[in-house]
Amino acid sequence: MTRKTMTIGLKSITALLAVLILFFFFVDLPSIGQAIAKQNPEYAWAYWPWLIGAWVFMLPILTALVPAWHIFDTIREKGKAFCHENAGRFRLMGHCAMAAGIIFLCLMLIMTFQRASSAPLLIVVTPLVLLFFLALSFICRVFSHLVEEAAELKDENELTI
């Protein structure tokens, strides 16, 4: 597989992921919320606050796709992937994953205090989502560290005659 093919594949996956995220948060989720409000009028007041909360949760996820896109640009050219900029990009992606996990936890706690959550959502889904984002954040931080080390070694080798 060539570098160009890898880059095209990674960027295609990223673009598709962005479209799916936007579709879910701006088409599916509002219609699900409207159906819940229609079936349970006592929760109709929560439609807009929770939809806005979901959009806030979506922001760090979409933000993380931007540095990923830039990382894929550097993969295209040989010797460019291991740079200090990519280490920073992985670090930013780790911060985005951590922010998404924290936002999700806050939203679930608020939902619980408002007595608007169900037991399966709170007991099963919340810990799984938190674990996913914490693991993703840790993986991005590890990649950041490894890319930083590789960039330093590359810099040292370029100075060696």
Q: Give per-residue pLDDT as tens, 97-115.
A: 999 999 999 999 888 887 7
C-beta atoms surrounding 133 within 10 Å: 22
Higher local confidence (pLDDT), 15 or 46 = 15
pLDDT number for residue 149: 96
Residue 83, SS3?
coil
C-beta atoms surrounding 132 within 10 Å: 14
pLDDT at residue 2 greater than cutoff 90: no
pLDDT-derived band at 43, boundaries 50, 70, 90: confident
Q: What is the mean pLDDT of the chain?
A: 92
pLDDT at residue 153 greater than cutoff 80: yes
Residue appearing with tokens 């930083």: 148
Give the separation between CA 91 and CA 144, rounded to whole angstroms. Answer: 6
What does each C-alpha distance from 157 to 17, 110, 152, 153, 161 come to in angstroms? Answer: 37, 53, 9, 6, 8
Copy the structure tokens of residue 63.
């933000």
% of the chain beyond a pLDDT of 90: 71
pLDDT at residue 161 greater than cutoff 90: no
- Label residue 118 exposed, middle or buried (CB < 10 Å: 0-12, 13-18, 19+): exposed
% of the chain beyond a pLDDT of 70: 98
Rounded to two decimals, the pTM is: 0.89
Copy the structure tokens of residue 81.
């992937």
